[in-house]
Amino acid sequence: PAPFDTARWLRGDAAALASFEKFNRANLAKDRDGDWVFLAKSAWDVGYQQEKNPELTFSTTKER
């Protein structure tokens, strides 16, 4: 089983996404459309990353 509990789609400008990717590579995947998805081990992990990265939006569902 995967060690992840939840996923969040990421939105933000290219620089913010690149910075987040640099430090969180092991917890990132791309969906079928090529958009970044943050794979979190817990709700706490999501909250922590949201606090550290206010320039990014962490969405529970993907906007089309």
Q: Is residue 17 part of a domain?
A: yes
Q: Is residue 24 part of a domain?
A: yes
Residues sharing a CB contact under 8 Å with residue 53, sequence separation 6 or more, in sequence order: 12, 16, 19, 20
CATH of the domain at 33: 3.30.70.3280
Q: Is residue 44 part of a domain?
A: yes
Query: What pLDDT shows up at residue 1?
Result: 75
Per the structure, the complete domain to which residue 27 belongs is given by 6-58
Q: Is residue 63 part of a domain?
A: no
32-44, pLDDT tens digit by residue? Answer: 999 999 999 999 9
Query: What pLDDT shows up at residue 4?
Result: 93
CA 53 – CA 64 distance, rounded (Å): 23
Q: Is residue 1 part of a domain?
A: no
**pTM (two decimals):** 0.90
Question: How many domains are contained in the chain?
Answer: 1
Q: Compute the average pLDDT of residues 40-54.
A: 97
